[in-house]
Every structure is written in C-alpha cells, then in structure tokens.
Amino acid sequence: MKAEYDFSKGERGKFYRPDAELRLPIYLDADVQDYLAARAAEKGVALNDLVNGLLKRDIQLIESVK
C-alpha cells in the first residue's frame, strides 16, 4: 500500500447511482441450506422463492400476533 495517493484527477460521484438497489447477501448455515434446497427441488421452485415465501409467512404470523 502506498503511503500517499493522488486523487487530484478524481471525479466525485462518478459511479453514484441514486436509483441503485442495494441487496445484502444472506448466508444460511450449510444444513439449513441443504434442507431448504431439497424442499425447493421437491416442489420444483427456486431456492430464493421458497425462502422468501417462508419468510413472508413468518412476517404475517408475527404481525398477526401484535
């Protein structure tokens, strides 16, 4: 790593995109992922669709108890 960097020719906001959507990665434990992947394969759906469906149902359950 250099002791000093020259940013004199830098352009502020060059890569800024106000409409960009940030998607954070979610990491599942290996055994959870294996289980859910098997269930998704059985149902013929994508893993992310299965997980989103499960989470949405959990959210509905939590909100209904409030």
Tens-place pLDDT, residues 4-62: 999 999 999 999 999 999 889 999 999 999 999 999 999 999 999 999 999 999 999 99
Whole-model pTM: value is: 0.66
Contact 36, 48 (CB under 8 A): no
Structure tokens at 10: 């830098």
Dihedral sign for Cα atoms in the order 37, 33, 49, 59: positive
Rounded distance, CA 7 to CA 11, Å? Answer: 8
Give ∠ CA 64-58-42 in degrees, rounded to 5. 140
